Amino acid sequence: EVQLVESGGGLVQPGRSLRLSCAASGFTFDGYAMHWVRQPPGKGLEWVSSINWKSDSVGYADSVKGRFTISRDNAKNSLYLQMSSLRTEDTAFYYCAKAFSYDFWSGLNYWGQGTLVTVSS
């Protein structure tokens, strides 16, 4: 059974940094691309970032480009999102999601439960 467990969310002040983690199990982690998607409370879904299986191809939404960095550690079956220069509009539930295949343009099939990031002074 695919399991994705996010952690690292919390309350942070504008301009500060935060690092999210996603622990994966139930599948061969290094065979799949991974994604981060966010959802402000009560609002719709927004793609944030994606990374392919061997970390040599990444993608970012324009809204986070230059501020967020996605990475993975295949030895630890873990996905990360380093968020810096946080803004109030980054407040959202952040979901880790698994791709259909090794390339990140293949879509998202399994999602974690999400972790809430609140950016506020």
Partner 1 sequence: QAVLTQPASLSASPGASASLTCTLRSGINVGTYRIYWYQQKPGSPPQFLLRYKSDSDKQQGSGVPSRFSGSKDASANAGILLISGLQSEDEADYYCMTWHSNAYVFGTGTKVTVL
Binding residue for partner 1 (CB under 8 A) from 61, 74, 82, 91? 61
Binding residue for partner 1 (CB under 8 A) from 35, 51, 78, 90? 35
Tokens of 22: 């996603």
Burial class (CB in 10 A: 0-12, 13-18, 19+), 43: exposed
**Interaction with partner 1 in 83-102: which residues (CB under 8 A)?**
95
Q: Which is nearer to partner 1, 93 or 121 (CB)?
A: 93
- In the complex, which residues of this chain contact partner 1 (CB under 8 A)? 35, 37, 44-47, 50, 59, 61-62, 95, 105, 107-114
